[in-house]
Structure 1
Amino acid sequence: MEKQEFLELFEVATKAAKSAARGDSESSSPAVSRCVDAMVRLREAPQSLACELVKYPQIGKSHVLLMDHKNPTIQSEATLLYSLWTGYLYVTGKKQNSRSHKGKQSQRRDGVHKKKLVEEMKISTTGDSNRDRVRGILHKSLSRVANEVVVVEMKERVVSCDSWSVAASVESAMYEKLGCFEGTQKAKYRSILFNMGDSSNPDLRRKVLLGEISGERLVTMKKEEMASNKFQMKVLKIKEKARDKEENRVKSMMIFQSGNMIMTLKF
C-alpha cells in the first residue's frame, strides 16, 4: 500500500462515518459498510507507512471522531485500528532505542513480531465497542510506562511486559466487578481510567503493568489509593495537620475545664 492509497482510504472512512452520523447509522447502511471496509483495508498498511502517517494531526483528529461514533460497528473497528497503530508506534520506539542488528534475519523477526502483534490485538478485542474502547484507553496508558521509567533494571522489566494482555486483564476485572461501562458504575470506570492516564501518576500504571496491582485490586481501590504518591503525601500531611489541630483543641478544652474546676473549689 502506498501513501496516497492510505490517505484516500482514510478519507473514505471519515466521509462515510460523517454521512452515517447525519443519516442512517444502522450497521447495515451503505455508509457504515463503506467506512468499515475502508478501515479493514487500512489494517493492511505496512508498519512503516502507518507509523509515518498516523502522526499527522488530521489523521489523529479524524480517528477520534471515528472512535466516538454513535455506530458501535464503526467504534469497534476504529478502536481496533487505533490499537494496531498504537502498537506499531510502541514497537517502533522500542526498536529505535534498542541495539538490534539490521539485516535479513532482523527483518524476518520484525515480520514475525508484527504478525504476532496483530494476532494479539485481535484476541484482545471483545466485539463490544464499549469494552474494546476501555481496553484501548488502558493500553494507551500502559504503553507510556516504558518511556517514563529511567532505572535500567526497571525498564527491562517494563519492556518485557505485554501491555495488551494486561489491559485486557484489567478491563475484564472491571467488567466482571462493575458491569458495563454505561451502567451504574460509570463514575468508577471514569475514575480508574482518569487515574491510569494521569500524567502526574506514573506510579499507578507502572504498578499495574508490572502486576504489583492486579485488575481485581484496582477495581476496589478508592480514589485516594489510586492517586499519585505526591498527592497521597499531600493528603496525609493535611490529615496529620487536622489531627494535630484537633488534639490541641482537646488539650486546650481540658486545660480550660481544669481551670474552671480549680476556681470552683476555691469558692
Structure 2
Amino acid sequence: MDPNRDNPIVRFTTFWWGIGAFLIFAVLLAAIILFTRKDPQTLEDAAAKPRYDIKAKVDAAQAASLPAEAIQAAIPAVAQKLVASKPAAVEKPDQVVPGSPTAEKLAAAPAVDTSAIDAAPATDEPIDPAAMEIGKVQFMVCAACHGQNGEGGPIAPPLAGSEWVTGPVSNLIRIQLRGLQGPITVAGKEYNFPAPMAPLAYQTDEQVAAVLTYVRNSFGNKAPAVKPEQVAALRSEVGKPPLTQQDLVQP
C-alpha cells in the first residue's frame, strides 16, 4: 500500500494548487473579455447612423416634393370633402332597430303575395339527402327551443304533427325571416309564450330552405321540399315586425 496516498499534506497541497489554477484561469478570461469587447455606446451609434441617414433622405425628399406649409393648408379642404362625401348610415335589413324609421317603413310596406310560392309542385320531387343533412345541422339551433325531436318545449310549440309545418311553405319561410309572436294553435292546442321567436335571417337562402325541408320531412312530417329560390323571393320580409298567427296563410 502506498503510504503517500492518504497523506494529509499531499491532499492539502493538491487542493490549493487546484484553487490557484482556477483563479489564474478566471483572471485571464476576465482580462480577455475586458480588452476585446466594444463599448455599448459605440455599437448603438453604429446602428443608429443608417437610421439617421434614411431619415435625412426622407425629410429631404418630402421637403422637395411638398412643403409642410402646403400640407397644413390642404388639410381643411380634404376634411371638408370627406365629410361631404360620407354616406348616410343605412340599417341592414337583418339589423333593423325596432321603432326606427327603417322599421316603421318596413312595417308599412304592402304584404307580399305568396300565392305563387305556395303553389303545389307539379310533381312530387324526391327529397334531396344532401339538403336533409344540411338542414339537420341547422336544426341544432331550432332544437334548443323546439326539442330534438320537434316535440316542443316550455318556450316553443311542437313541430311534429304541426299543420303549420306541412302547410303553406310561405308561412315557414316568413317565420324564419321575421320571427313569430303571440298565441298560436297547433293541432287544436293553443300555445302562448312570453317571448317571441327571434328571426333567423342571418342564414343563407340555401340554409333556410334546407332546415325547413328537414323539419317538413322529420318527426313524422311529410311535405314537399323548400327551394332556395322560394326563400329568395321572400327576402324583402327581413326587418319587418314579428308575425302573428293572423298574418299567416291558414293551412
The structure with more helix, counted as a fraction of residues: 1
Give TM-score, length-normalised by structure 2. 0.19
Give TM-score, length-normalised by structure 1. 0.18
Larger RCO, structure (CA 8 Å, separation 6 or more): 2
Max Rg structure: 2
